[in-house]
Amino acid sequence: MSDTKYWVGFTLIPGIGRARFSRLEQYFGKLEQAWQASATELEVAGLDARTIKAIMVHRPKLSLDAEMEKLERYKVTVLTWKDESYPSRLKEIYDPPPVLYVRGSLVPEDDWSLAVVGTRRPTYYGREVTEQIVSDLARNKITIASGLAKGIDATAHRTALDSGGRTIAVFGCGLDIVYPSDHVKLAREIMERGALVSEFPLGTRPKAENFPRRNRIMSGLSLGVLVVEAGEGSGALITAGLALEQNREVFAVPGSVLSQASRGTNRLIQEGAKLVRWADDILEELNLTMAMQQVEVKELLPTTETESLILQCLSSEPTHIDEVGHQSRLPIAMVSSTLSMMELKGMVKQVGGMNYIIAREAREDYRLKVE
């Protein structure tokens, strides 16, 4: 589309968003004509003096051909809200980005996506529950959207990839800048098996004011937002609020009332967010009928009295092997060998330092049923 570079051009000029793009498009038809318009014509089109001045100052300095070559070099696809491949759900929100920059690929299946957000400093519980829920969602062909931040975001992206699913990372900067820089490798994997998305042109640095705008895209792309752990002032709560404004579902994982990391999520539930324990809770609420591909329960239940005793000593919080031996009153050698077998079965997980947690709570009662 020859007009695309002019859409790109206007994203390079400060202060031109949805409303001004709409005025330009409605008055001029093609943005090529708007790009070449005089100050008087722009005024007649309905632009304010400040915006017209910004266009007059920046336009002569910009080479759109050079910008398009740069986009091609970074393998960035440009989607405008007029393109058929522009995400349909994102078009529905009040403030859709006129231009979407994409590295990787957006596919029709991404219409079935869920945003997963949370604290940058998750507990063991937060990471574990994210892995459990996201892995099941990914196996049910739900695309996971998040913001590539440290903590819950990164865990959600990584789990979706490891589960063979698709994931979308929404940037608060240009797609030529990975933020945080620790996630360069993760971003590359997401680009290969999903998409990196931004409304900001190349070269845009990550600024605090960019991230609320980034968050509205995450929720706008999705059927709903899942908040796993979030403190009272967490940015994840901003995403949840945007989701409500966009008429999206809000889900939250409950946590300890004593945990600062769960204060925000517990408050969301108190205010009406859907309480989530498993992926099923989300799939049922969204009325998704895709075939469930869950791990069979029999693989997760204890098959011996020893396994049953050990499971009763574990929870989603790390417990040291010595404490398991103390609580179960079993010889430490037996505890060690049994835990190793249970880890192979996927029943427990070692989280470092000989600390163990339950890998998946398929049942609330692990006690061995003896005939």
Look at residue 365 in the predicted model and tell me its pLDDT.
45
Look at residue 360 in the predicted model and tell me its pLDDT.
59
Look at residue 357 in the predicted model and tell me its pLDDT.
86
Is residue 187 over pLDDT 70?
Answer: yes
Look over the chain and give the mean of its residue pLDDT values, rounded to a whole number. Answer: 89
pLDDT band of 366, cuts 50, 70, 90 = very low
Is residue 370 over pLDDT 60?
Answer: no
Is residue 64 over pLDDT 50?
Answer: yes
Q: Tell me if 96 sits within 8 A of 81, measured CB to CB.
A: yes
Mean pLDDT of the 98-105 span: 97
Joined tokens for residue 222: 């999705």
**Among the listed residues 310, 244, 282, 350, the one whose alpha carbon sits nearest the alpha carbon of residue 130:** 282
Rounded alpha-carbon distances, angstroms, from residue 307 to 312, 318, 349, 353? 9, 17, 14, 21
Joined tokens for residue 19: 């409303």
**Among the listed residues 58, 52, 47, the one whose alpha carbon sits nearest the alpha carbon of residue 12:** 58
**Among the listed residues 319, 306, 302, the one whose alpha carbon sits nearest the alpha carbon of residue 365:** 302
Is residue 337 over pLDDT 90?
Answer: no
| Between 127 and 300, residue with greater pLDDT | 127
User: How large a percentage of the chain has pLDDT more than 90?
Assistant: 74
**Among the listed residues 224, 222, 212, 227, the one whose alpha carbon sits nearest the alpha carbon of residue 122:** 227
Is residue 353 over pLDDT 70?
Answer: yes
Look at residue 162 in the predicted model and tell me its pLDDT.
95
Q: Where are the beta strands (DSSP E) in the chain?
A: 76-80, 99-104, 113-117, 143-146, 167-170, 194-198, 224-227, 249-252, 274-275, 319-320, 348-350, 355-358
User: Could you write out the three-class secondary structure of 26-40?
Assistant: HHHCCHHHHHCCCHH
The residues that bridge with 170 in the sheet, in sequence order, are 197
User: Could you write out the three-class secondary structure of 50-78?
Assistant: HHHHHHHHHHHHCCHHHHHHHHHHCCEEE
Look at residue 289 in the predicted model and tell me its pLDDT.
45
Which single residue is written with the structure tokens 């400040």? Answer: 50
- Each residue's pLDDT tens digit, 229-241: 998 888 899 999 9
**Among the listed residues 251, 245, 255, 254, the one whose alpha carbon sits nearest the alpha carbon of residue 282:** 251
Q: Tell me if 108 sits within 8 A of 117, measured CB to CB.
A: no
Instruction: Please enumerate in sequence order all residues whose Cβ is within 8 A of that of 183, keeping only pairs 6 or more positions apart, or say none.
Output: 148, 150, 154
| Between 258 and 368, residue with greater pLDDT | 258
Q: Is 233 exposed, middle or buried (0-12, 13-18, 19+ CB in 10 A)?
A: exposed
Intervals of CATH 3.40.50.450 along the chain = 108-285
Look at residue 303 in the predicted model and tell me its pLDDT.
75
Domain 108-285 in CATH 3.40.50.450: yes
Q: CA–CA separation, 165 vs 117, rounded Å? A: 17
Look at residue 287 in the predicted model and tell me its pLDDT.
80
Is residue 224 over pLDDT 90?
Answer: yes
Task: Provide the Cα torsion 66, 70, 75, 77; round to 10°.
Answer: -50
Look at residue 59 in the predicted model and tell me its pLDDT.
95
Is residue 87 over pLDDT 90?
Answer: yes
- Each residue's pLDDT tens digit, 35-61: 999 999 999 999 999 999 999 999 999
pLDDT band of 268, cuts 50, 70, 90 = very high
Joined tokens for residue 345: 């079965």
Count the neighbouring beta carbons within 10 Å of the beta carbon of residue 14: 12
Look at residue 299 in the predicted model and tell me its pLDDT.
47
- Each residue's pLDDT tens digit, 277-314: 999 999 988 887 443 443 344 446 777 888 889 998 98
So what's the architecture of 297-358 in CATH? Orthogonal Bundle (1.10)
Q: Tell me if 310 sits within 8 A of 337, measured CB to CB.
A: no
Own/partner contacts of 325-332, CB < 8 Å, gap of 24 or more, are 330/306
Joined tokens for residue 96: 């859709």
Which single residue is written with the structure tokens 């990164």? Answer: 154
Intervals of CATH 1.10.10.10 along the chain = 297-358
Joined tokens for residue 177: 């800048």
Q: CA–CA separation, 194 vs 180, rounded Å? A: 19
Look at residue 60 in the predicted model and tell me its pLDDT.
94
Look at residue 300 in the predicted model and tell me its pLDDT.
62
pTM of the model: 0.79
